[in-house]
Amino acid sequence: MALSYPDSNVFYRKLRRDYPRIVRGDGCYLYDATGKWYLDAAGGAFVASLGHGNQDVADAIARQARLVAYVNGTAFTHDAVEELASELVALAPGDLDKVYFLSSGSEAVEAALKLARQYWRELGEPNKRKIIALSPSYHGNTMLALSASARANYQSMFGDWLVDVRRIPAPFAYHCECRGLGADCNVCTGAALEEAIVREGSDSIAALIAEPIGGSSTGATVPRPEYWPRVREICNRHRVLFIADEILCGAGRTGTWSALEPFGVVPDIMTLGKGISGGYAPLSAVLAPERIVDVLARGSGSLLHAQTFSHHPVACAAGLATVRHIREHVLVERCSAMGITLHDRLAQLKGLPHVGDVRGRGLLAGIEFVEDVETRTPFPRALGFAEAFTEAAQAAGLVVWPNVGHAPGGRGDLVMVAPPYIVTDEEIDEIVALLVQALEAMLRTIGTGVTR
């Protein structure tokens, strides 16, 4: 039996849909109260890295809860937080050796941006306060994180509350005028960043924040190999902190622990979340080097970002068990190997009606739908193609993640695929078959006027 507003006391995230009641999860599958199964091809919201029902993580949470469930992070430390910090530092690139734990990706982004601002102020350069972010982009829904996000549909209600953030175009090849092929394209090469810094004045820029591999806002877009090295060099030369938001694309999801690793780049600050606890407890993290944290230690003495549930023992125990499980079962390497299989099978979709592009890396993929494949013209937004496709997929027993509004004019429809790291060849085949089934249902809905 599905539940919906207003018949339940729950304030649902969407108020005009029915919610199947999930009663059990097992591996890559969820089961509702009627016995129907759903292949979770998005890990919920890119979260369920280990799949559902992992006994190791569940047991670790129970053990920690019996020992001590909560302590005040301003007064005490504990084994779970100390051990998890050590695990993450061992996996992190470069000199990122200090870890601040929070409960959500939005909180981590908020803290990372505040850290950048506080660092420059305590260093005696208070004018370095501006943030540069990419467009499209998404970094969270708290006010500072939402300000950094380029998501008009999320910002429309709150525009007069948001901070002014400078934007440069994301390296989004599918929608770039050069289609990703222009050798001198200032967007695809990263030159747009330097233009923005020069225009604003480098003495006013605190940080650039960006996802190394596109999340839902650009549908798993992978920049050119030279993009992030050039961005890193520009940030170095202009003394701008580079914040890598790896909440969605990090922790092994794209086939390396850090999504930046193949680019040979180390950020100044990194955020992690989602997959680091596998969804078994709310957990996120900000990683920073001692060279930044020490400025605060010698000044005010703390990051001015108080959160009741920061450094939470049970959440950290869940994260520790998850990260150790990923390492001990070589799941990052498995993401890389299974990612090849995933993208090989998803490539079958490219010849189907209205499938404009399939892209990504590792176990992260974006499938973009367009009205006209040749011209890459998006559907009218009023059609709600991505949302309707997601509902058609769920009806068929497949969970995917939709995104809209990323194309010019606020249009654009895509869905994301991000299965648990334990996904099998057979389950990947099933994902593709159910995607085709959902697309066929959509074509019946919108009619047979198909542009190829």
Q: How many residues does the chain have?
A: 452
Which pLDDT score is estimated for 153? 77
Q: At what angle do helices 425-446 and 385-396 cross, to 10 degrees?
A: 130
Specify the range with the lowest mean pLDDT, choosing from 356-360, 393-397, 404-408: 404-408
- CATH number of the domain to which 363 belongs: 3.90.1150.10
Q: Could you tell me if residue 12 is inside a domain?
A: no
Same domain, 83 and 187: yes
Q: Quick one: pLDDT band at residue 425, thresholds 50, 70, 90?
A: very high
Q: Quick one: pLDDT band at residue 204, thresholds 50, 70, 90?
A: very high
- Which secondary structure element, helix H or strand E, spans residue 328, and what is its range? helix 313-328
Q: Which two tokens stand for residue 21?
A: 């009641």
- Hey, is 329 helix, strand or coil? coil
Same domain, 211 and 167: yes
Same domain, 155 and 266: yes
Burial of 143 (0-12, 13-18, 19+ CB in 10 A): middle
Same domain, 347 and 213: no
pLDDT tens, residue by residue, 354-364: 999 999 999 99
Same domain, 226 and 370: no
Between the alpha carbon of residue 204 and those of residues 132, 210, 232, 288, the distances in Å are: 11, 18, 18, 21
Q: Could you tell me if residue 14 is inside a domain?
A: no
Q: Which two tokens stand for residue 413?
A: 């429809």
Average pLDDT of the segment spanning 106-110: 97
Burial of 433 (0-12, 13-18, 19+ CB in 10 A): middle
Cα gap 397→39, rounded to integer Å? 6
Specify the range with the lowest mean pLDDT, choosing from 63-77, 177-191, 308-322, 355-369: 177-191
Which pLDDT score is estimated for 201? 97
Q: Could you tell me if residue 256 is inside a domain?
A: yes
Q: Which domain holds residue 258?
A: 56-328
Which pLDDT score is estimated for 59? 98
Q: Could you tell me if residue 102 is inside a domain?
A: yes
Average pLDDT of the segment spanning 53-58: 98
Task: Indicate if the pLDDT at residue 207 is higher than 70.
Answer: yes
Cα gap 341→69, rounded to integer Å? 41
Give the mean pLDDT of the chain: 96
Cα gap 149→133, rounded to integer Å? 7
**Is the CB of residue 197 less than 8 Å from the CB of residue 238?**
yes
Residue in 356, 360, 361, 409 with CA at minimum distance from that of residue 386:
356
Show which of 328, 343, 371 is a domain's final residue: 328
Cα gap 277→146, rounded to integer Å? 23
Burial of 439 (0-12, 13-18, 19+ CB in 10 A): buried
Q: Quick one: pLDDT band at residue 155, thresholds 50, 70, 90?
A: confident
Q: Could you tell me if residue 258 is inside a domain?
A: yes
Cα gap 443→237, rounded to integer Å? 51
Same domain, 321 and 357: no
Same domain, 269 and 145: yes
Q: Could you tell me if residue 402 is inside a domain?
A: yes
Average pLDDT of the segment spanning 91-114: 98
Q: Quick one: pLDDT band at residue 151, thresholds 50, 70, 90?
A: confident
- CATH number of the domain to which 135 belongs: 3.40.640.10
For the full predicted model, state whether its pTM sits above 0.95: yes
Q: Quick one: pLDDT band at residue 154, thresholds 50, 70, 90?
A: confident
Which residues share a beta bridge with 366?
359, 416
**In percent, how much of the chain has pLDDT > 90?**
95
Query: How many domains does the chain contain in total?
Result: 2
Q: Which two tokens stand for residue 37?
A: 């199964």
Same domain, 320 and 336: no
**SS3 of the chain: helix, strand, coil, percent, to 5:** 40, 20, 40
Q: Could you tell me if residue 10 is inside a domain?
A: no
Q: What is the dihedral angle through the alpha carbons of 250, 252, 256, 260, rounded to the nearest 10 degrees? A: 0
Same domain, 363 and 320: no
Strand pairing class (130-135; 205-210): parallel
Cα gap 316→312, rounded to integer Å? 6
Cα gap 54→392, rounded to integer Å? 29
Same domain, 315 and 180: yes
Q: Which two tokens stand for residue 254?
A: 């794209």
Task: Indicate if the pLDDT at residue 192 is higher than 60.
Answer: yes
- Hey, is 37 helix, strand or coil? strand
Q: Could you tell me if residue 1 is inside a domain?
A: no
Residue in 135, 143, 141 with CA at minimum distance from that of residue 160:
143
Show which of 293, 308, 328 is a domain's final residue: 328
Residue in 251, 318, 303, 324 with CA at minimum distance from that of residue 100:
303
Which pLDDT score is estimated for 306? 86
Which pLDDT score is estimated for 450? 37
pLDDT tens, residue by residue, 259-313: 999 999 999 999 999 999 999 999 999 999 999 999 999 999 999 998 999 999 9
**Is the CB of residue 275 less than 8 Å from the CB of residue 252?**
yes
Same domain, 45 and 62: no
Show which of 284, 310, 328 is a domain's final residue: 328
Q: Write the DSSP assignment of 358-377 as a string of letters.
A: EEEETTEEEEEE-SBTTTTB
